[in-house]
Structure 1
Amino acid sequence: MRLNQNTMLLGKKVVLVPYTSEHVPRYHDWMKSEELQRLTASEPLTLEQEYAMQRSWREDADKCTFIVLDSEKWQAQLGPEESCMVGDVNLFLTDLEDPTLGEIEVMIAEPSCRGRGFGTEAALLMMSYGVTKLGLTKFEAKIGQGNEPSIRMFQKLHFEQVALNSVFQEVTLRLAVSEPVRQWLLAQTSHVEEKAYRDGSAEHQ
């Protein structure tokens, strides 16, 4: 979506930046992993298909995506931005009957970065962005039954299981953003700074 193409969100552990063409080769390498294909229920793409996918993420009004960077590496400027990439976080606004519902996905692709709270903070930043900028009042997460770390993470974020699809072996969790939940979410992300991002060449402060 074009709304966030110049938006960078700085958290404590992670920095969220728009998905640009510079990120595609690293992302493409990640998605060669059979484990990630299984966890994300996705098919491997050619590099050209991945570039086309990146363009659609930027253009389509019903998709919002950020690349997740390791904040510590990014702040230390240890190499190009692509070397700081750890995963991505997405929102799908695909329920035509309910524009206030967003389906959220978080992927921490780098194995060494899992279990360190990166996914949790990325999810909180994205949910806060969805509530404050996109007018969302409900979130849904669809997760493979075997992906227990991801299910536990969303449960810690107050999501509750509402459905189990035995055919797709998928659990659906949901969170309604009541006023107390909204206040909790804003408190959890009060440290976040929003800055301008210039097409993959944001200057480090």
Structure 2
Amino acid sequence: MRLNEFSAISTAKALLVPYDPHHVLTYHAWMEDPAIQEATASERLTLEEEYENQESWRASHDKLTFIICQPLSTGEADGTSIHAGGPDAPRKMVGDVNLFLYPYEDEDEEQPPSATPGFCVGEIDIMIADQQHRGRGLGRAAVQAFVQYIFRHLDAIMQEYAADKDMPSPPKLKMLMAKINQGNATSIALFKSLGFEQEGEVNYFGEVKLVLRHLDEFAANVPEGYAELVYSRDQNHGRPQ
């Protein structure tokens, strides 16, 4: 999405920044790991394809993406902004968190196929790529900050989503959900600790569906140190030549 192109989210435990070209080399290295490919249901891409992915994710109006980094250190922000390439340098990157939007499938069956969907669903996924950063609360902190951001900017998110699909009016967000492999007990526990509840049984693909329907109740618990910062770049900041 274009919405977060110049926005970063800082909390006491994690920093979230837009996915930029200078992140791609590290991201591509992560995705070379067969275990991460399997966990994220991703195919191996060439480096060139990964750069193309980064560009398409930025332009996509139904996907909101942040790179997860270690929390800011003293002096890395001026109070209102951070500068690309410092607090989010490759050595500080730990993973990513994403929101995918798509039409709500349980719309009224009597509604004409051509009618504008009244609701959409937001699916969240998260990856902590480096083993050394797992089990330290970074994933939980990132999801908590991410959902807080979604709540605060929900109208703008829905407007961008609707504009891309030529909808006369934005749909409403029916719920947030996460689909997690039944064997991934850590991720299931993470989302449940944040108030997501299991819906139904394990599906055909061996996934558990966890849902959050009351976004306002979740957002009442603001993460410690939550702040939205301007994400600034040099004029020539972009893909390495």
TM over 0.5: yes
Shift of 1:168: 1.1
Match of 1:169 among 197, 200, 206: 206
Letter in 1 for 2:125: E
Distance 1:140 1:80 in 2: 27
- Unmatched runs of 5 consecutive residues or more in structure 2: 77-84, 105-116, 156-172
Letter in 2 for 1:172: K
Please name the residue that 1:22 is paired with: 22
Contact 2:195-2:218 within 8 A present in 1 as well: no
The yes-or-no answer on 1:186 pairing with 2:223 is no
Pair 1:75–1:121, CA change in 2 (3 A): farther
Please name the residue that 1:131 is paired with: 151
Alignment of 1:81-92 (within 5 A): 81-92=89-100
SS at the partner of 1:196?
strand
Deviating above 3 A after TM superposition, structure 1's stretches of 4 or more consecutive aligned residues are 72-80, 96-100, 163-166
Pair 1:164–1:25, CA change in 2 (3 A): farther
| Greater helix fraction, Structure 1 or Structure 2 | 1
Distance 2:177 2:75 in 1: 32
Shift of 1:36: 0.8
Please name the residue that 2:193 is paired with: 156
Distance 1:18 1:99 in 2: 26
Pair 1:80–1:166, CA change in 2 (3 A): closer
Larger radius of gyration: 2
RMSD (CA atoms): 2.3
Please name the residue that 2:31 is paired with: 31
Shift of 1:44: 1.1
Q: How many residues align?
A: 198
- Unmatched runs of 5 consecutive residues or more in structure 1: none
Pair 1:122–1:137, CA change in 2 (3 A): farther
Shift of 1:183: 4.1
1:96-126 residue CA offsets vs partner (Å, 9 max, x unmatched): 6355521101111110101111000100111
Please name the residue that 2:67 is paired with: 67
- Greater alpha carbon shift after TM alignment, 160-169 vs 35-44: 160-169
Shift of 1:164: 3.6
Shift of 1:159: 0.7
Please name the residue that 2:135 is paired with: 115
The yes-or-no answer on 1:106 pairing with 2:114 is no
Identity between Structure 1 and Structure 2 (%) = 40
Contact 2:102-2:120 within 8 A present in 1 as well: no
The yes-or-no answer on 1:141 pairing with 2:175 is no
Distance 1:199 1:137 in 2: 35
SS at the partner of 2:3?
helix
- Greater alpha carbon shift after TM alignment, 41-50 vs 71-80: 71-80
Contact 2:97-2:127 within 8 A present in 1 as well: yes
SS at the partner of 2:199?
strand
